[in-house]
A and B are shown apart, each in its own frame.
Chain A
Amino acid sequence: MVLIRDLTIQGVQMLLVVLLAPLFTGFVRKVKARLLRRQGPPVIQPYRDLIRLTRKDVVLAESASWLFRVVPYLVFAATWVAASLVPTFRTGLLFSWSADLIAIIALLGGARFFLALAGLDVGASFGGIGSSREMMIASLAEPAMIMIVFTLALIAGSTQLSSIAAFMSSSGVGLRVSLALALVALVMVAIAENGRIPIDNPATHLELTMVHEAMVLEYSGRHLALIELAASLKLILYASVIACLFAPWGIESSGASKPALFIGVAAYVGKLAIAGFLLALFETAVAKMRVFRVPEFLGAALMLGLLATLLLFVSRGL
Chain B
Amino acid sequence: MTLAVILICAAFLLALAPFALVTRPVQVASRLIYGASLAVSVASLAASLAHLLAAAPAETIALPLGIPWLGAHFRLDALSGFFLIVVDLGAIGASLFALGHGLHETAPERVLPFYPAFLTGMTCVVLADDAFTFLLSWEFMSLTSWALVMAHHRVPENVRAGFIYLVMASFGTLCLLLGFGLLAGSDGHYTFAQMRAAHPSAAVGAMAMLLVLFGAGSKAGIVPLHVWLPLAHPAAPSHVSALMSGVMTKVAVYGFIRIVFELAGGPAWWWSIVVLTLAGVTTVMGVLYALMQHDLKRLLAYHTVENIGIVFIGLGLALAFKAYDMSFAAALAFTAALLHVLNHSLFKSLLFFGSGAVLAATGERDMEHLGGLIHRMPQTAFVFLVGCVAISALPPLNGFVSEWLTFQAILLSPQLPSWGLKLLVPAVGALLALSAALAAACFVKAYGVTFLGRPRTQAAKAAVEADSFSLAAMMLLAALCLVAGILPGLFIDAIAPASSALIGARMPAQSGLQWLSIIPIAASRSSYDGLLLFLFMIISGTLAASAIHRFASDRLRRAPAWDCGYPDPNPATQYSAMSFAQPIRRVFGSVVFQAREVAGMPPPGDTRPAWLKVELRDLIWDYLYAPLAATVGSAAERLNRLQFLTIRQFLTLVFGALVILLMVLAVWS
Enumerate chain A interface residues (CB-CB to B < 8 A): 54-67, 73-74, 76-78, 80-81, 95, 97-100, 102-103, 106-107, 109-110, 112-113, 116-117, 119-129, 131-133, 135-136, 138-143, 146-147, 150, 153-154, 157-160, 163, 207, 217-218, 221-222, 225-226, 291-292, 295, 302, 305-306, 309-310, 312-314, 316-317
Contact = CB atoms under 8 A, between A and B. Distances in A.
A282 B135 CA distance: 64
Interface in B322-381: 371-372, 374-375, 378, 381
A306 B427 contact: yes
6 contacts: A59-B562, A77-B537, A99-B533, A106-B404, A128-B574, A146-B433
Main secondary structure of the interface of A (DSSP, over half): helix
A314 B418 CA distance: 10
A131 B378 CA distance: 22
B640 to A, nearest CB: 50
Contact of B526 (A154, A158, A305, A316): A158
A113 B526 contact: no
Contacts of A139: 434, 437-438, 440-441, 584, 587
Given A63-B372, A100-B528, A122 B453 contact: yes
B544 A226 contact: yes
Main secondary structure of the interface of B (DSSP, over half): helix
Contact of A138 (B440, B540, B575): B440
Top 8 A-B residue pairs of the complex, sorted by shortest distance between their CB atoms: A128-B575, A120-B448, A123-B453, A54-B552, A77-B541, A146-B433, A136-B583, A143-B433
A97 B562 contact: no
B266 interface: no
Given A125-B574, A313-B422, A147 B533 contact: no
Given A66-B374, A113-B394, A317-B414, 18 more contacts: A63-B454, A67-B374, A67-B385, A73-B544, A74-B541, A78-B537, A98-B528, A107-B395, A113-B389, A120-B448, A120-B452, A125-B563, A125-B568, A150-B411, A153-B411, A158-B526, A207-B564, A313-B422
Contacts of A207: 564
A76 to B, nearest CB: 5
Given A153-B411, A160-B524, A221 B553 contact: yes
B293 to A, nearest CB: 15
Given A103-B528, A131-B575, A150-B426, A222 B434 contact: no
Interface in B554-579: 554-564, 567-568, 571, 573-575, 579
Contacts of B538: 77
A223 B394 CA distance: 23
Given A158-B526, A292-B586, A222 B552 contact: yes
B646 interface: no
A316 B523 CA distance: 23
Contact of B561 (A63, A65, A221): A63
B447 A310 contact: no
B437 A131 contact: no
A62 B558 CA distance: 6
B567 A124 contact: yes
B650 interface: no
A103 B395 contact: yes
A117 B619 CA distance: 32
B426 A60 contact: no
A36 B575 CA distance: 37
B281 to A, nearest CB: 16
B524 A146 contact: no
B515 interface: yes
Nearest to A207: B564
A100 B527 contact: yes
B552 to A, nearest CB: 4
